[in-house]
Amino acid sequence: MVREISRRKFTVGLMAAGGMLLTSRRARAAEFELRQFHNQPADSPLDKWLTQMWDAVKTETNGRVQVQTFSDNNKIAGGDPAALNMVASGELDFFTLNGGSIGNLVPAMNVQGLLFAFRTPAQVFDSLDGDLGDYLREEVKAKGIYAVPKGCFDNGFHQITCATRPIRTVDDLQGLKIRTPDAPIYIEAWKAMGASPVVANFNKLYETLKTGAAEAQTNPLAVAEFLKLYEVQKYVSLTNHGWSGFNLLANWKLWQRFPSDVQDIIARNVVKFVRLQRAELSALNTEFRTKLATQGMTFNEADTSSFRPRLTSYYAHWKETVGERAWSLLEAHVGKLA
């Protein structure tokens, strides 16, 4: 027996079927559901701009690429070194990290972490967005990692904060317990200048200072503000002794799986949002000098001319470690180091 279907029921049924079809299409829309780790706090400029960048990529790919951003490296055990190994192995999709720490895996990347190499932001970004960056990306690729072109977010120039005394000359560094990342490029520099490095991952920085395991640390002013280091540090000695940034890294096999249009969309948005983050971070590092002073920190200008003579053998060692090509490309931008 054939049942007659009213026009209303037919229309409702058709709408329901269409809704199911649309829902099914939406469910299948994300071809790539991925994760991005970084080591900064959730309210940091890096977290904000990474989140906005991946939102833009999601929109421009019509939802085909969806990347969730996790601050504080999603609180994984092992911090930055563990996350770097994860992105190399393919367990993690995207990660940002400073060159000195990447240098544990890719020696040439240590050029980013050399103390007293870069003197201005222009030197940094002209080299890393240009020939030096191109060379480093090839070196990183050999380890299964893709460094996105012109994808180095800014952290800024480093200053020394200390709980026990201001740092005026190299004499004040003698025996100073200063926290460093687990990266020889930093550890050896502080030893060469007479300090006693205390190794701690970024996620243990505040705790290391609070317990007194280290008296001092080195980072841009934005880090002192966002990590509330003014609670455990008294002095800020302006040294500009080194620069660091957050290189945007992807698993190389993953990058190769992306269709060319997806690669183009990601690459274009990386350039856009790196530029925006750099501009904001520069302004914040200037602004936070005043803000940290109001929070009780005492500022002084250090005489860094007394630091450099202690680094002669340090430069000779790292020139050999990073390789002639990386060293010569760096010196073309910053001048003779060794």
| 190-241 residue pLDDT tens | 999 999 999 998 989 999 999 999 999 999 999 999 999 999 999 999 999 9
Q: Which two tokens stand for residue 243?
A: 């620069």
Regions of the chain where pLDDT drops below 70: 1-29
User: Is 4 domain-assigned?
Assistant: no
CB count within 10 Å of CB 194 equals 15
User: Is 113 domain-assigned?
Assistant: yes
User: Is 7 domain-assigned?
Assistant: no
Domain that holds residue 217: 29-334
Q: What is the pLDDT of residue 132?
A: 98
User: Is 2 domain-assigned?
Assistant: no
Give, in degrees to the nearest 5, the angle at Cα 41 between 38 and 44: 95
User: Is 20 domain-assigned?
Assistant: no
Q: What is the pLDDT of residue 25?
A: 45
User: Is 13 domain-assigned?
Assistant: no
**How many distinct structural domains can be found in the chain?**
1
Q: Which is nearest to 75 in space by CA: 198, 160, 201, 177?
A: 201
User: Is 219 domain-assigned?
Assistant: yes
Q: What is the pLDDT of residue 324?
A: 97
| Residue 248 CB partners (closer than 8 Å, separation 6+) | 94, 95, 96, 147, 148, 151, 152, 153, 270, 274
Whichever domain contains 90, its CATH number is 3.40.190.170
Dihedral angle over CA of 118, 183, 167, 169, nearest 10: -60
CB count within 10 Å of CB 133 equals 20
Question: What predicted TM-score, i.e. pTM, was given to this entire model?
Answer: 0.88
Q: How far is CA 196 from CA 166, 172, 177, 220, in A?
A: 16, 12, 5, 20
SS3 29: helix
Q: What is the pLDDT of residue 74?
A: 96
Q: What is the pLDDT of residue 290?
A: 95
Q: What is the pLDDT of residue 308?
A: 92
Tell how many helices (H) and how many strands (E) occur in the chain.
Answer: 13, 11
User: Is 21 domain-assigned?
Assistant: no
Q: What is the pLDDT of residue 338?
A: 74
